[in-house]
Amino acid sequence: MDHRPPDHRPLDHRLLGRRAQQRQQRRAQILAAAEQVFAAAGFEGASMAAIAGAAGLPKANLHYYFGTKEALYAALLEELLQLWLSATEAIRPESEPAAALEAYIRAKMAWSRRRPQASKLFANEVLRGAPLLSAHLAGGLRELVEAKSAVLRGWMAEGRMAAVEPRHLFFAIWAMTQTYADFETQIRLVLDVPALGEAEFEAGVATVLRLVLGGLALRA
Amino acid sequence: MDHRPPDHRPLDHRLLGRRAQQRQQRRAQILAAAEQVFAAAGFEGASMAAIAGAAGLPKANLHYYFGTKEALYAALLEELLQLWLSATEAIRPESEPAAALEAYIRAKMAWSRRRPQASKLFANEVLRGAPLLSAHLAGGLRELVEAKSAVLRGWMAEGRMAAVEPRHLFFAIWAMTQTYADFETQIRLVLDVPALGEAEFEAGVATVLRLVLGGLALRA
DNA sequence: GGTTATGTTGACCGTCCGGTCAAGCTTTCC
DNA sequence: GGAAAGCTTGACCGGACGGTCAACATAACC
């Protein structure tokens, strides 16, 4: 039945990697399902059975790959934190302040639009006191904020933007942009629309840009 | 042993109300404990046994007063929603825009400082899609936002503040102020302080005021 | 081809949780 | 004083959940 030629390449990397490849695909499959279920139900509310169902795999298989529910959750969070941190790239000393902040705000808003579950998951974890993430928040995130705050302080010293406490400015931008993912339900109900679409995100971007750029005297 | 004089006032309201009084006190006692536990662990993560322990009562007693866990949670949410809504009182047509918005922002910030658990509880519910609150959000909250948005639109038409979409302005203010309660863990870790105190909230108020008032051209 | 390492899976287990209940206690009312 | 109504509580129940395991399947290696 099988007419493929015999394989004479026992050391071929494509063959050697077959298991590793499947292994990676399974992990990604489980993580994707876990993101949906954890975001919708929270850590406690989500069940391994529900995640297994969403992934189309038996429950015991998840335990084979990740050991425990908590380890699966932690793996997911670490993956998402990388995304979270990467959005600050626009803020560099040689950039124009207004353009850099606008790019940053647009990037965060786009993330809220495209990956709302990821944002919700993150919010949930922080809301609970970040039991699995506090080390990363106190480490990598803090360092990043310090570095980017130094850039903003430089711009302030040069008179290129109003003087504010940069870290609180970040808190404000994070809050305003992530609210369109985390509090999507509330925004949807207040606006009386079935779902947040292009128009709502455009209005959100416009509002956040006006407050941040206007508040920092970056636009007349 | 008991030398108190016999009670000749069978119709006295103070006596008639004794049970009702105790009943109300028990309810408040349970609700206060529930607020702590639900905020710390979320709806699914909280157990009736934990709430009972925090309240210093046997678990069966909670069920006597509230029936089910969900009913207890719903009773708590309704109570908190009233607090939430009452903060908008500062925004009235005859007020000065800058003063009204400043009072509103300070009120919301004060609430984040004094009742962080309540804010977290609310955030948790909305994050989950507001299964028990969507009716109130689509009803009372929406009406209130519409009414207050009309006030802001009036000010804009009179040229007393910059023209923005008022509902999105509310989303931004809610997000920025509540983040000091909901994301307190993250803010604490980034700022590298053991707890958010007077100084941190002052800096937060200053930042939010600058963005909102500056963004709306209400201060030079 | 045979042996070993790696994956897969249904069945099972101990624990915890929301909720119930019956028995007893306290207040109210006559 | 005594009956009725309301409140308190320890003990219990069924179900769901995280996690384990042994048996089996597949791929890798010699």
pLDDT digits (tens, 9 = 90+) for B79-114: 999 888 899 999 999 999 999 999 999 999 999 999
Is residue B158 very low, low, confident or very high in pLDDT (cuts 50, 70, 90)?
A: very high
Q: How many CB atoms lie within 10 A of CB B63?
A: 15
Residue A126 near residue B183 (C-beta atoms within 8 A): yes
B130 chain-A contacts, CB cut-off 8 A: 185-186, 189
Nearest to B179 by CA among B204, B199, B203: B204
Mean pLDDT of A21-31: 93
Residue A197 tokens read as 């679409």
CB-CB under 8 Å, A191 with B172: no
Average pLDDT of span A179-202: 98
Per-residue flag: B59 CB under 7 A of strand C: yes
Chain B interface, mutation test: which of A85, A176, A177, A218, most B Cβ atoms within 10 Å? A176
Nearest CA distance, B132 vs chain A (angstrom)? 12
| Count of positions (residues) in chain B | 220
**Does any CB of chain A come closer than 8 Å to the CB of residue B1?**
no
Q: A35: closest CA among A19, A51, A13?
A: A51
Q: What is the 3-state secondary structure (H, E, C) of A129-197?
A: CCCCCHHHHHHHHHHHHHHHHHHHHHHHHCCCCCCCCHHHHHHHHHHHHHHHHHCHHHHHHHHCCCCCC
**pLDDT > 90 in chain A, percent:** 86
Q: B12 CA, C27 C1': separation in Å?
A: 14
pLDDT at B19 over 50: yes
Query: Any chain B CB within 8 A of the CB of A175?
Result: yes
Residues present in chain A in total: 220
Q: CB-CB: which of B120, B164, B203 is closest to A127?
A: B120
> Å from B127 (CA) to C7 (C1')?
37
pLDDT of residue B1: 33
Q: Exposure pattern of A160-190 as b/e (b: 16+ CB <10 Å)?
A: ebeebbbbbbbbbbbbbbbbbbbbbbbbbbb
Contact, A11 CB vs strand C, < 7 Å? no
Asked if B215 lies within 8 A of A210 by C-beta distance, the reply is yes
A162 neighbourhood in chain B, CB within 8 Å: 210, 214
What's the Rg (C-alpha) of chain A? 22
Average pLDDT over residues A120-146: 96
Q: For residue A15, what are its two tokens?
A: 């063959």
B124 CB within 8 Å of a chain A CB: yes
Q: Is a pLDDT exceeding 80 seen at residue A17?
A: no
Query: Which pLDDT does position A16 carry in this prediction?
Result: 53
pLDDT in tens, B111-154: 999 999 999 999 999 999 999 999 999 999 999 999 999 999 99
What is the pLDDT, as a whole number, of residue A7? 37
Chain B CA closest to residue A140: B190
Find, among B175, B126, B118, B146, the residue nearest to A190 by Cα: B146
Which among A43, A134, A212 has the least Cβ separation from residue B189? Answer: A134
Question: What is the model's pLDDT at position B17?
Answer: 66
